Amino acid sequence: MKRIAIYCGSATPADIRYMQLARNIGRTLAERGIGVVYGGGRLGLMGAVAGGALDAGGEVIGIIPEALATAEVANGDCSELRVVAGMHERKRAFTDMSDGFITLPGGVGTMDELWEAMSWAQLGYHSSPVGLLNAFGFYDYLLAFVEQMTQAGFVREQHRAILLADADIAALLTRMEAYVPHTPILAMEASDL
């Protein structure tokens, strides 16, 4: 994996562990020679991921919608900062420029990005691994919900394996590197759906 898209919050939580985690993720990726593709912001976990990677000499590509760039939240320290028209173009660029996705703790926007990466993988619009860093048990309930969707039959068993979750970044990266793409919906027979 040459580049990984990082999805995370632009907020700065009161619990400093989240900011420390984000800086560590950026540094870890840079030390492994993996470039960071992220939302292009300088605030919150986004800024911490970028800062950690840049401090370790890594490549950081920010992709930010024009409205956010003009609101002065863009990170001018990125190796490359791309300003796009809107959120759809941003998420498309994440997919086009990355070899995988990792979701860190975040809010509504982070969930939107995670679900789209999973949905696009399920359909076959990309075949990259989708990782979820379940640091501090932040995503325990989300993982339980994914299991509930699977048990109820709304997520096919073969597509449940799209989401790779781990609490440890090194273990998650190892799983992502070993990821074998599933059969996407677009390649399945109607009788299998």
The mean predicted confidence, pLDDT, of the chain is 94
How much is the pLDDT for 138? 98
How much is the pLDDT for 184? 78
Q: Are strands 3-7 and 101-103 parallel, antiparallel or unpaired?
A: parallel
- Tens digit of pLDDT for each residue in 69-104? 888 789 999 999 999 999 999 999 999 999 999 999
User: Which residue in 151, 147, 131 sits closest to 1, CA to CA?
Assistant: 131
Under a CB-based contact definition with an 8 Å cutoff, are residues 41 and 73 in contact?
A: yes
- Tens digit of pLDDT for each residue in 2-11? 999 999 999 9
How much is the pLDDT for 182? 82
Which residues touch 42 (CB under 8 Å, ≥6 apart)? Answer: 50, 73, 74, 75, 76, 77
How much is the pLDDT for 96? 96
HSE-CB of 191 using CA atoms within 13 angstroms: 0
Under a CB-based contact definition with an 8 Å cutoff, are residues 39 and 63 in contact?
A: yes
Please spell the DSSP secondary structure of 19-84, one letter per residue.
HHHHHHHHHHHHHTTPEEEE--B-SHHHHHHHHHHHHTT--EEEEEEHHHHHTT-B-TTSSEEEEE
Which segment of 31-40, 129-138, 180-189 scores lowest on mean pLDDT?
180-189
HSE-CB of 73 using CA atoms within 13 angstroms: 17
Of all residues in the chain, what percent carry a pLDDT higher than 90? 87
> What's the N-to-C CA distance of the chain in angstroms?
31
How much is the pLDDT for 109? 94
- Tens digit of pLDDT for each residue in 60-70? 999 999 999 88
How much is the pLDDT for 189? 72
- Tens digit of pLDDT for each residue in 104-136? 999 999 999 999 999 999 999 999 999 999 999
Per-residue confidence at 157, pLDDT binned at 50, 70, 90?
confident
- Tens digit of pLDDT for each residue in 164-185? 999 999 999 999 999 998 877 7
- Domains of the chain with bracketed CATH: 3-192 (3.40.50.450)
Please spell the DSSP secondary structure of 108-175, one letter per residue.
HHHHHHHHHHHHHHHHTS----EEEE-GGGTTHHHHHHHHHHHHHTSS-HHHHTTEEEESSHHHHHHH
Per-residue confidence at 193, pLDDT binned at 50, 70, 90?
low
Distance, CA of 101 to CA of 165 (rounded, Å): 11
